């Protein structure tokens, strides 16, 4: 791999060094990420100098942390011209070495007294509750924040938990008017306390103390985009470019099929059957597989992206990155960013930031086309039809047919 990016003299020097194996592995890592020739040369040179620095300091490679990288990068900036590439390249070096377990995995930033509790709780959420990774992530975050708010960095003593600790934690999210965040924090805290009770660390009385934030599920209509807004949204993507074809295909999957962000990011090539024009969704939030027919617009968008847009990569995911690291699967954050930037160009959608409104729009369009709630629930992957019942409120045609006339009288009523 050295010969691809370096001349014979530099290749000989790199191969003769004590860390030749790691440097060659790092070169291959940068190559597969899609970096340019000059960037690979700069990053490998920074790694070579960093290895020499560790050797002079008599530090073993397994003890390297982000602090050592920052210290080395700051010293080079003091003695030479500012080089942001040094720090960036060494961060990638750590990622490369962590993949092969040469450098320990980056520890979770939390006190040691709390880390073991959170890791046990996460194992319970994964193996017993079977929750999705995104749900486990925010459950861990709220549990960690609660423990830090009560115990700080000191030892965890369950006997010190008081009612005011629970109430103060939940109310801290509601003081700024974020009732939705307060509701989520209360739910997460209640689940964490149930696990503590299951482990015999606390009693059931603490669970009852957590405040209940009132929420009426059917009190409001689901937000949806109008037909003109959907057309404008899909028209913002430049389908003459590879990235535009990818972004358009992802948006169409959300508008036409009502896919969640995680489902779009998790789609693989093997899940798309162009011969039968179906797409198979594996697992997901409901942990159930389902097969959906692809409308013509979805089929054409995916076909155009696969044929003329998707870069050559060994990654099995359907939608991949077109920027560094090229060819890796898109993340949920990338999909959200694509839709958020599209919102900014649609009249009336500027304040929108979430993507779930596209799922509501897909369900409303299906209902308007004559689909019943059971069929919509199957398409969206709802376990219970009660979850889909909210869309019955937007079916104005049927609601008008069953609405009773408002009682009137011919007799005038005086003041």
Helices 373-380 and 356-368 sit at what angle, rounded to 10 degrees? 150
List the catalytic residue out of 25, 239, 260, 310.
260
Range in 76-85, 110-119, 194-203, 314-323 the model is least confident about: 76-85
The predicted-structure confidence for 2-56, as pLDDT tens digits, reads as follows: 998 999 999 999 999 899 999 999 999 898 888 888 999 999 999 999 999 998 8
Out of 209, 237, 257, pick the residue that ends a domain.
Answer: 209
Kindly tell me if the per-residue pLDDT of 177 is higher than 70.
no
Look at residue 246 and tell me if it is in a domain: yes
- pLDDT value of residue 218: 64
* 125 in Cβ contact with 151 (< 8 Å): no
Same domain, 95 and 121: no
pLDDT over 80 at 79, yes or no:
no
- Point out the catalytic residue in the list 98, 356, 393, 398: 356
Q: Are 191 and 259 within one domain? A: no
| Sign for the pseudo-dihedral over CA of 32, 35, 39, 41 | positive
Q: Quote the percentage of the chain above a pLDDT of 70.
A: 88
Mark whether 285 is an active-site residue: yes
269, 196: one domain = no
pTM, two decimals, is 0.75
Same domain, 145 and 234: no
pLDDT of residue 401: 59
Same domain for 193 and 241, yes or no, is no
Residue 391 annotated among the catalytic residues of the structure: yes
pLDDT digits (tens, 9 = 90+) for 98-155: 888 787 776 556 777 898 999 999 999 989 988 877 788 889 999 999 999 999 888 9
Residue 387 lies in a domain: yes
Which among 99, 133, 151 is the end of a domain? 99
Range name among 5-9, 56-60, 183-187 with the lowest pLDDT average: 56-60
Domain for residue 304, yes or no? yes
Domain with residue 20: its CATH number is 1.10.150
The contacts of residue 108 (CB under 8 Å, 6+ apart) are 115, 118, 119
**What does the alpha-carbon distance between residue 205 and residue 106 come to, in Å, rounded to a whole number?**
37
The domain in which residue 134 lies consists of: 112-209
Tell me whether residue 379 is in a domain: yes
d(CA 271, CA 273): 6
Residue 32 lies in a domain: yes
Q: Is residue 142 annotated as part of the catalytic site, yes or no?
A: no
**In a domain? residue 221:** no
pLDDT at position 107 is: 57
What count of Cα atoms within 13 Å lies in the side-chain half-sphere of residue 170?
A: 21
Kindly state whether residues 262 and 335 are assigned to the same domain. yes
Same-domain pairing of 236 and 377? yes
Which is more confidently placed, 218 or 187? 187
Domain-embedded: residue 405: no
The CATH number covering residue 377 comes to 1.10.443.10
- Residue 141 annotated as catalytic: no
Do 125 and 188 reside in the same domain of the chain?
Answer: yes
Q: Which residue in the list 285, 332, 336, 365 is annotated as catalytic?
A: 285
Q: Which of 158, 180, 209 is the last residue of a domain?
A: 209
Residue 382 annotated in active site:
yes
Whether 91 and 232 share a structural domain:
no
| Structural domain count of the chain | 3
Q: Is the pLDDT of residue 414 over 90?
A: no
Among candidate residues 35, 139, 359, 360, the one labeled active-site is: 359
Whether 167 and 306 map to the same domain: the answer is no
296 and 197 assigned to the same domain: no
Same domain, 379 and 273: yes
Q: pLDDT value at position 82?
A: 45
Q: Of the residues 5, 121, 299, 391, which is catalytic?
A: 391
Average per-residue pLDDT for the chain: 86
Q: Which of 56-70, 273-287, 330-344 has the highest mean pLDDT?
A: 330-344
């Amino acid at each position: 791999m050295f010969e691809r990016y370096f001349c014979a003299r530099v290749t000989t020097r790199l191969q003769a060094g004590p860390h030749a194996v790691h440097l060659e592995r790092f070169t291959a890592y940068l190559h597969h990420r899609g970096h340019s020739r000059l960037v690979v040369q700069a990053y490998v040179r920074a790694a070579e100098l960093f290895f020499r620095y560790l050797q002079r300091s008599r530090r073993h490679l397994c003890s390297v942390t982000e602090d050592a990288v920052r210290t080395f990068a700051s010293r080079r900036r003091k003695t030479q011209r500012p080089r942001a590439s040094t720090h960036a390249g060494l961060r990638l070096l750590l990622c490369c070495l962590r993949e092969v377990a040469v450098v320990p995995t980056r520890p979770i930033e939390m006190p040691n007294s709390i880390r073991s509790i959170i890791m046990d709780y996460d194992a319970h959420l994964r193996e017993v509750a079977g929750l999705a990774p995104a749900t486990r992530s925010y459950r861990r975050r709220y549990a960690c924040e609660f423990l830090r708010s009560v115990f700080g960095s000191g030892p965890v003593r369950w006997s010190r938990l008081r009612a005011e600790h629970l109430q103060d934690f939940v109310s801290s999210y509601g003081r700024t008017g974020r009732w939705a965040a307060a509701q989520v924090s209360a739910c997460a805290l209640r689940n964490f306390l149930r696990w503590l009770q299951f482990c015999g660390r606390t009693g059931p009385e603490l669970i009852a103390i957590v405040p209940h934030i009132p929420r009426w599920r059917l009190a409001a209509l689901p937000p949806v985009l109008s037909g003109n807004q959907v057309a404008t949204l899909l028209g913002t993507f430049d389908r003459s470019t590879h990235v535009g074809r990818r972004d358009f295909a992802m948006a169409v999957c959300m508008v036409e099929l009502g896919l969640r962000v995680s489902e779009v990011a998790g789609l693989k090539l093997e899940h798309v059957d162009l011969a039968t024009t179906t797409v198979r969704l594996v697992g997901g939030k409901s942990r159930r597989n389902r097969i959906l027919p692809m409308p013509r617009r979805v089929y054409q968008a995916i076909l155009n992206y696969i044929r003329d847009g998707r870069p050559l990569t060994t990654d099995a995911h359907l939608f991949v990155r077109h920027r560094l690291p090229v060819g890796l699967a898109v993340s949920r954050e990338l999909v959200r960013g694509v839709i958020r930037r599209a919102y900014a160009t649609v009249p009336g959608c500027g304040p929108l930031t979430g993507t779930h409104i596209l799922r509501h729009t897909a369900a409303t369009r299906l209902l308007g086309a004559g689909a019943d709630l059971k069929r919509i629930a199957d398409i969206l992957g709802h376990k219970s039809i009660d979850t889909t019942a909210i869309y019955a409120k937007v079916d104005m045609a049927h609601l008008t047919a069953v609405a009773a006339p408002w009682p009137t009288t011919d007799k005038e009523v005086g003041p």
